[in-house]
A and B are shown apart, each in its own frame.
Chain A
């Protein structure tokens, strides 16, 4: 057919018009409703995420030559706090039998866990990083969590706060790191102690952690970004 078909052309324009109109109206409408949609669907998604999560299964690691030293972007919400490693103390309290306060030397004499994992940011970028530190699992063994402890809060020197589910905290690759890519952790990456784990998004991995508190319930304040609207579970 060499003759253009006027009916089809008109139909095509009409289809395109309907589509563009629906996209504009639908896009604006759903943008206004995003938090309602999120609150409606997040519990279901979280159930699937928790079902997929294997608390004892190690996430495969990478080899040293795969480390991407320049890919890790520093995202801090309120600048870099000043911490003196000599006087630094980590407190672990809450729903535990034996609350403790540890200095850096005590933490660094505990068995070190080293891992080369992919650090994934909520923004979409990722970086393969080596982290070295002490596993949360061995820190919690020191304080003996009470049976009712289900959540773990992490408080940071810069005012950042976050909370995790217990199963993710005691995953063998969830650590408080003091080493990055084979060298002492730089201050802008969270020195002296930061969370590192291949099973949570980056915003769950608090830097400059000074206090760990176990709770039986999730409080109204669940985390800095979570309280602004981000997903709480944020599992990978």
Chain B
């Protein structure tokens, strides 16, 4: 047995993540995947870099089949994505999770001082999943700036024009993909299978899976 599994087996039996948290996470993952793939389909109509002769995104990474299809899926999923994020925000504030679930001074101190590798991984993990929140909010703001430029002209203006707006909106994709990889690795390092499964299906598909023998 490795250190990580020993550590995981010594945790209390209750799932680490509440049911609402799991639900928010799943809806976020699914809607964000649709947003990114349908967004790349829209991107292909006129690539941000190089226009029509620029690099196009290949089929397995796009969704919708053609520009109108990509827009249909993008503008359907945007409501699910944004309302889910809003509901999560209300939940985080109402349950006072914002006080202790996100990166804080203690994590920065741990990175500077702690010699416990587990604590350091944990701090990095909290930095990663805290950082995704401004990235997702930024995607919504830049998206509104392009979807409704006549109603919200100050968004394009504040960000330096239309091209800058498109680039920033597109940058959500590499940011989220990079985040998803780091987040998966750090979650497994910080809490092992138990943490990962508690966010995904623990307590929904299985009942008390971590009962000790």
Contacts and interface: CB of A to CB of B under 8 A. Distances in A.
A34 B73 contact: yes
A141 interface: no
Interface string B154-178: 0010000010001000000000000
A147 interface: no
Nearest to B196: A11
B49 to A, nearest CB: 12
A42 interface: yes
B56 interface: no
B60 A24 contact: yes
B69 A35 contact: yes
A65 B162 CA distance: 16
Contacts of A228: 68
Nearest to B43: A124
Contacts of A122: 45, 67, 71
A12 interface: yes
Contact of A35 (B42, B72, B162, B188): B72
Nearest to A36: B72
Nearest to B151: A52
B5 A31 contact: no
Interface residues of B, number: 49
A216 to B, nearest CB: 27
Interface string A30-47: 110011011011101100
Contacts of B75: 38, 41-42, 45, 231
Interface in B102-130: 117-118
Contacts of A111: none
A191 B166 CA distance: 30
Interface residues of A, number: 49
A167 interface: no
B189 A8 contact: yes
Contacts of A88: none
A30 B64 contact: yes
A118 B149 contact: yes
Interface string B42-75: 1101101001000000001011111111111101
Determine which residue in A7, A22, A60, A230 has the highest number of CB atoms from chain B within 10 A of its CB, and name it.
Answer: A7
B117 A1 contact: yes
B162 to A, nearest CB: 4
B46 A53 contact: no
B42 A124 contact: yes
Interface string A5-26: 1111001100110000011101
Contacts of B43: 124
22 contacts: A5-B189, A11-B193, A12-B185, A16-B184, A22-B33, A27-B60, A30-B38, A30-B63, A31-B65, A34-B68, A34-B69, A38-B75, A38-B76, A52-B151, A122-B45, A123-B67, A124-B45, A124-B48, A125-B46, A235-B150, A236-B149, A236-B150
Interface of A: 1, 3, 5-8, 11-12, 15-16, 22-24, 26-27, 30-31, 34-35, 37-38, 40-42, 44-45, 49, 52-54, 59-60, 118, 120-126, 198-199, 225, 228-231, 235-236
Nearest 5 A/B pairs, CB to CB: A38-B72, A34-B69, A123-B46, A123-B45, A41-B76
